[in-house]
Structure 1
C-alpha cells in the first residue's frame, strides 16, 4: 500500500474513533465520509472537523445544506488546492455521494483534467446540479464534451482555462436550461453559435480574439441580457445600430478595444445598460446629426474630460444622463455650446458646482430641467432674463443655501412643477409664486424656511394641486405637517377651487373645520389629523370626489353624518355611505360606533382598506365584500398621489402607508367589536388582501377552508373568538403568511403540517385551545397509548367525545404521563 493510501486509511480510522457512538445531527453519514475524502485532496480545508462541536458538516465553512433535509446542496472549493503542488487530475466520483448538490465551485485549483474513466460526466448523476464553476483552471477544449452531459446546468463558467481555436457550442446543446455561459479570457478566435442554448441570458466572451462580425451571429440568443466583449480586438468603425436586434439586452461591455469611429444616428438611446460613458461626450463631437442622446442608468466616467480646444458639431434637443453613478464630476463643457436644448436630465450623478443659470440663458426653448441629488451647492441663482418656456424644474436633494429669489414668479412664469425640497434654503416664501397661475406642484419641504404662506400664493395659484411645505421652521399662518402650528385653519383655503389635497397633520391647529371647505369640489384628500380640531362636521360636506379623509386624534364629536373619520363619533354607520363611490380607504377605528356593519359598504367597489376596529358594532359580517377592490385588483398605479397616507394596522403593528406603497395595500380589520355568527366563506374570495383581522369578537363555527385562496395574505388574526372544529390543513398553502393567530378559541384536532410558513409559528399562535395538538404544541396521542381508565372516565363524564380523546396532549418523552 502506498503512503498516500496509508494516510487516508489512518485518517478514516481516527475519524471513526472520534465519532464512536454515531454522528451528530446534520449531514448523512455517507456525505460526511465524502467530505473527509475531499479534505484529503483539497488540502486547504483546515476548518473542517478541527474544532470541538464542529461535527455537523452543515456548520462547516464552504458547505451549505438544505434547511429542511440537512442534505448538502452547495460546495465552494475555490482556491483550496495548494498551487505549489502544480497541476493535477480530478476524480469526479468524489462528488457523486452528494445527490442533492445544486452548486459546485472548483475554480482556482490548477485542475488540468480528470482521472481516466472518472471524468466530469460522472456528475450527470447529480440531477439537481445547476451551477458549475471551473474557471481559473487548466482545462482544454475537451472539457466541453464532458460538461455537455450535465443537462440540469443553468450556469457554467470556464473562463481563464486553456480553451483555444474554434469553439462550437453545439457540444452544449443538451444544456437546454443553461442561462449563463462564461468562456472569457481563453484563446478562442472563433465562436460558433448553436440554437440549442435558447435560454441563454448571460454570455461572457471577453479576453478572446474575435471579429466584431460575431455580433450578427449572437442575435440567435433572443433572451440575452448581458454580453461581455471586453478586450476582444474589435477594430475600426462600429455602427451602434447593430445592437437593434438585441431586444432584451441590458448590459454590454466593449471596453479596451480599438474602435476608432462610431456611426451614430440622429437619436441615440443607450439607457439601462452598463456602458462607461464619458460625461464630456467627446467621442460623439463629430456627429453633427445627433439631436437626442438618452443614456440614463449607465456609468458616467468622470476621468475623461473634454479637450479645451474641441467643440461639438451637434446641437442636442434632448439629453439624459441621469442615474449615472458618477462621483465628483463637473458640468460638461460641451453644454456651454448648446442652444437648442428642450429637455435635460442630469439627476443622480453627484456633480460639483452651483446652479447652472447659464443653461437657461443659453437655451430659451428649454422646457424641463432635472438636477436631483447632484451635490450642487451655493446660492440658487436664476437667469437674468425671463424664461417663458420652462415648465418643470426639479433641483431637490442638493445643498443650495440662501433665499429663494423673490422674483422667481416673474423670471419663471410658466412653471407647472417646481421642486426645491431637501436643500438648506432659509428666508420666507416669495409672494411672487402667486404670479405663476399655471403652477400645479410646489414642493418647498425639508428646508429652513420661516414666516407664513403668502396670501397671494393662495389667491394667484388657482391651478395648484400639490403644496408641500413640511419640515421647515414656519411659525404662523397655514402650514403643513410637523411644523408646530397653532391657530385656526385659514378660511381663504376655500378659494382654491382646484385644490385636490390638503395635508397638515401633527400640528396644534384648533377651532372648527371652515365652512368654506364646502367649495372644494375637487378635493380628494383631506388630512388634518393629530391636531385640536373641535366642533362637528360641516353639514354641507358631502364631496363625491373625496377618496381619503383623516381626522383622527382631534376633538370632533357628534354623529357620523357626511364624513369618514375616527374620533369620538357615535351612532351607526349611515346607509348613504355607498354614495361615496370613489372611496378607497375607510378608517373608522377607535370610535364609539354602534349598530351592524351595513351591507352598503359592499357598494364601495373601489374600497381597498376597511378599518372598523375598536367600536361597538354587532350583528353578522356581511358576505358581500368580494364586490369591492378587496377582491378584484389593486388601484391603478397611474392615479397615484404621492402625498396620500393612511394609518393601518398589519402584522400587529400600526404603520403609516404613503404613495405607491399605499396603493398596493389591501386589508380588512373588524377586530375588537361584538360581531356574532359564522365567518362567511366569501371572505376567502378577498384574494388581494394582505391583512385580515377578525379577532376579539364572538364569532362561532369553523374556519372557512376558502381562506386557502388568500394567496397574498401576510397577517391573519382570528384570536379571541368562539371558533371550533379543526384548523383547515389547506392553510399551509399560504406562502406569504408571516403572522398567524387562532389563540383563545375552541379549536380542536391536529395543527396543520409544520411546513412552509407554518414551520415559523410558535405555540403563542395556538394557545388557549385546550384540544389542539401537534407541533409546536405537544404531539397528538393515539388511542393505543391512552390509559383505559382515563378513556373510560372521559366517556362516562360525557365531557369529551371519542374524536377528541384521540388528540389529548401528552409528553412525547414520557407517554405514560399524559
Structure 2
C-alpha cells in the first residue's frame, strides 16, 4: 500500500515538473553559434588567460546557451534577450565589433558594464582592461539599428569616449542608456542623440563633459524620466528651461558640477519630480518657496552650494512623500528656520542633512520622525548637551554627524545602540570621555571625536568595538598608557595625535593585532621607549607619524620592509645610531622626516624611490658628504 502511495506521489511530481517545462524551448542553434563567435572575439582581445574568458560558454552541443552565465532567453521562443560579458581584462584600445551582435534579433538588454562586479577604484587606477570604442566594417555608424528590440544598453565603467555617440544615435529603440564613468569630454553633443525619442533614462555621470548643459537639445527627448549629469565639469548659469519642458521627468541629478546662478523656479512645474539632486555646485541666491509645491518629491538635496537668505522648513510641510532632505550652504549666510510652536510636518524622513544652516538648536520635529537612519547637523551653532534622545528614539539610526558645533556635554544612553558612524569633532567637550562607549556603541565603524578637550585615560571599553575601521581621538587631552589589546583587526586608520599619552607604544598583543592599518598617527604625545617590533607586522601601512615624542634607541632596519610606506615622520625624538640603508631602498617613500634627533654617521645613497623624495635631516649629528643622488 505504501509503495502505491509513493508511486502516485512520484507521478504527481513528474506531471507538475512537465507542466512547468511545457512551452520551454532551448536556445536557437544560430544564436548559440553566434555567442561562441562573440566569445572567440572577446578572447582574442583579452590580455591574459583567454581560455578563461566566458568559461561557461561551452562548445558542447548538449549545452543549452540559455542556461549560460550572463545569458537570458525568452522561455517560449528560445531566443536570446539579455547578454552580459562579466569581468574582462582587455588589451589597451580594445574595440567591440558590433556586427557580432547582429544575429541576436530579439536582444533587449546588452550589459558591458564593469561596475556591477564589485568595487572599482578611481579611473586613474584602471586605464586598461576596458572597452575603448565600437566598430563595424559593414554597417558603420548604423550598426545598432539592426538590434530593433534593444531597450537597455549599459556601457558604464569603461573607457568609451565621444567616438561612440554616432553609433548610439542609431539605437532608436533604446529606453535606458548608461554611460556613467567613462572618458567622454568636451561639450555634450546632445543633438546627436535627438533621434533616441524612446529614451526614458539617460545616465552620463562621472565623465568630463564641460560647457553649458544643452537643455534645449535635451528637450527633444520627450519621454525622458531620469537624467543624471552628475560628476562632470558643466559650468555656466543653470538655465534649465529645456529640461523643464520634459513633463515626464521624475529624477534629475546635476550634482558635483560647476553650475552657477539661482535655482530655476521652472523646475517646480515638473509635477512628477521625485528626485532633485543639485548639491555641490555654486548655486546662489534664495531657495525658492515654490519647492513646497513639488508634491511628488521624495529626495531633495541642495547642500554644498552658496545659497543665502531665509528659508523656512515649514514651506515643505505638505511634501508627504519626502524621505531624504539635504540643505546647506558654504556662504554662511543661509538661515534655515523652523515654524514657531509645535510643528508636525506630513513627511517621514529617513535621512536629514542641515549642514551650515545657522541652526541654534536641534530641530524638535525630529522627535516625530520614525525611521531616521542618517542625521547630519554639522557646522551649525548648536549648544548644550549631546542629544541622547536621538539614540534612544531611533534604533535604526546609522549615521550621526554633529561636528563643528558648540556642544559641551557628551552623555550616552543606557542601552546598547547599533550606530555605525559618529562624528563629534570640533565641539567644546571638556570632561572625561565616557568610559562605557565601547559597550554602548559596539558596532561603530567610524568614530571621530577630535579637536575637543576630552580628558582622562583612553577607555578600555574601546576594545569592544570589534567593527571599528577609522578611529580619530586626536587633539584632545587624553593621558596615560594605551590599553592592552586596544586595536582590533578591523582598524585601518588610527589617529591619536596631539594628546598627552605616555609610556611605550604597545598597540599590539602577540595573539591579536591589526594588520590592516593604512594610516597611523601618534605624533605630539609623550611616548617613550623604542620603536617596537609590532610595527613590523603592518604590511599595508602607508602613513606613519610618531614625531614629537620622546622615543629612543635606533631606527630599526625592518621599517624599509614596509612595502607601501609613503610618509614616514620620526622627527623631534631622541633616536640615535645610523640611518638604515633600507629606508632608501623603498620605491614608494615620498616624505622622510628624521629631523631633530641624535642620528650619526653618513647619509646613505641608493635612493630608488619612484616618487620625488622630500628628505628632512636637519638638527642631527650626521657627517660625511651628501650623496650625489640626493642633489
User: What range describes the TM-score normalised by the shorter chain of this pair?
Assistant: 0.5 to 0.7
Task: Give per-residue Cα distances to partners, 1:358-412, cap 9 Å, x unaligned.
Answer: 5554443624544541536432343342524423434444654352346898426
1:379 aligns with 2:302: no
CA distance in 2, matches of 1:454, 1:733: 50
Find out whether 1:338 has 2:270 as its counterpart: yes
Note the 1:213-224 alignment, pairs <5 A.
Answer: none
Match of 1:544 among 446, 461, 465: 465
The offset of 1:544, in angstroms, is 3.0
Deviation at residue 589 of structure 1 after TM alignment: 6.9
Counterparts of 1:279-298 in structure 2 under 5 Å? 281-285=215-219, 287-296=221-230, 297=232
Paired residues of 2:279 and 2:301 also in contact (CA < 8 A): no
> 1 CA distance for matches of 2:505 and 2:378?
43
In structure 2, the CA distance between the partners of 1:267 and 1:714, relative to structure 1 (3 Å rule), is: same
Q: Distance in 2 between matches of 1:353 and 1:722?
A: 59
Aligned pairs (5 A) from 1:664-683: 666-669=543-546, 672-673=549-550, 675-677=552-554, 679-683=556-560
In 1: Cα distance, 2:244 partner to 2:508 partner: 72
- Distance in structure 2 (CA, Å) of the matches to 1:453 and 1:502: 12
How far apart in 2 are the matches of 1:245 and 1:459? 44
Match of 1:576 in 2: 485
Alignment of 1:277-426 (within 5 A): 281-285=215-219, 287-296=221-230, 297=232, 299=234, 302=237, 306=241, 312=245, 314-331=247-264, 333=266, 335-348=267-280, 350-351=282-283, 354-355=286-287, 358-359=290-291, 361-364=293-296, 366-370=298-302, 372-373=304-305, 375=307, 377-381=309-313, 382-397=315-330, 399-401=333-335, 403-405=337-339, 410-411=344-345, 413-423=347-357, 425-426=358-359
Quote the Cα distance in structure 1 between the aligned partners of 2:564 and 2:240.
56
- Contact 2:487/2:514 (CA < 8 Å) preserved in 1? yes
Q: Distance in 2 between matches of 1:267 and 1:491?
A: 46
Aligned to 1:603, the other structure's residue is in SS state coil
Q: Would the alpha carbon gap of residues 543 and 336 (structure 1) be closer, same or farther in structure 2, given more than 3 Å must change?
A: same
- Tell me the residue number matched to 1:777: none
TM normalised by structure 2 equals: 0.59
Is 1:627 the counterpart of 2:561? The answer is no
Residue equivalent to 1:737: 613
- Say which of 244, 260, 267 aligns to 2:201: 267
Secondary structure, counterpart of 2:366 in structure 1: helix
Report if aligned partners of 1:417, 1:442 keep a CA contact under 8 Å in 2. yes
Q: Secondary structure at the match of 2:431?
A: strand
Asked whether the 8 Å contact 1:409–1:436 carries over to 2, the reply is no
Asked whether 1:433 is paired with 2:366, we answer: yes
Q: Which residue of 1 is the match for residue 586 of structure 2?
A: 709
1:522 to partner: Cα distance = 2.3
CA drift at 1:498 = 2.6
Q: Give the equivalent residue in structure 1 for 2:102.
A: none
The structural deviation recorded for 1:291 is: 1.7
Q: Does 1:250 align with 2:165?
A: no
Deviates more, 1:388-397 or 1:297-306: 297-306
Separation in 2 of the partners of 1:623 and 1:451?
45
Q: Tell me: higher relative CO, structure 1 or 2? Use CA pairs within 8 A at least 6 residues apart.
A: 2
Cα deviations across residues 251-294 of structure 1 (Å, max 9, x unaligned)?
Answer: 24669x9x896544222334435465567x44444543222222
Secondary structure in 1 aligned to 2:365? helix
User: What is the Cα deviation at residue 433 of structure 1?
Assistant: 0.8
Highest CA radius of gyration, 1 or 2?
1
What is the aligned-residue RMSD (CA, Å)? 4.8
Candidates 700, 703, 706, aligned match of 2:577: 700
Instruction: Determine the C-alpha separation between the residues in 1 that align with 2:272 and 2:297.
Output: 6
2:474–2:497 Cα contact (<8 Å) kept: no
Cα offset, 1:692, TM superposition: 3.3
Q: Which residue of 1 aligns with 2:131?
A: none
The more displaced of 704-713 and 347-356 is: 347-356
Aligned residue runs from structure 1 range 712-723, under 5 A: 712-717=589-594, 720-723=597-600
1: distance between equivalents of 2:402 and 2:221?
Answer: 45
Give the match's secondary structure for 1:709. coil
Q: Which residue pairs with 2:522 in the alignment?
A: 611
Q: Distance in 2 between matches of 1:682 and 1:627?
A: 10
Local SS of the residue matching 2:607: helix
- When residues 240 and 254 of structure 1 are mapped into structure 2, their CA distance, relative to the original with a 3 A threshold, is farther
Q: CA deviation at 1:739?
A: 3.6
Number of matched pairs:
467
The Cα of 1:741 is off from its aligned counterpart by 0.5
Selected match of 1:600 from 480, 487, 509: 509
Structure 2: segments with no counterpart, 5+ residues: 1-127, 129-138, 144-157
TM, length-normalised to structure 1: 0.47
Check the 8 A contact 2:265/2:290 in 1, yes or no: no
Distance 1:578 1:449 in 2: 33
Corresponding residue of 2:397 = 464
Find 2:626's aligned residue among 725, 747, 751: 751
The 8 Å contact of residues 617 and 675 in structure 1, kept in 2 or not, is answered as yes
Give the distance between the partners of 1:525 and 1:707, measured in 2 at CA: 34
Which residue of the partner structure matches residue 810 of structure 1? none
Structure 1 pair 739/441, CA: closer, same or farther in 2 (3 Å)?
farther
Partner secondary structure for residue 617 of structure 1: strand
Distance 2:427 2:611 in 1: 38
Distance 1:504 1:596 in 2: 25
Q: Which moved more, 1:366-375 or 1:533-542?
A: 533-542
- Compute the displacement of 1:709 (Å): 0.7
1:587 is the counterpart of 2:508: no
**SS in structure 1 of the partner of residue 516 of structure 2:** coil
Alpha-carbon spacing, 1:672–1:745, altered in 2? closer, same or farther (3 Å)? farther
Measured in 2, the distance between the counterparts of 1:681 and 1:352 equals 54
Q: 1:675 to 1:302 in 2, by over 3 A?
A: closer
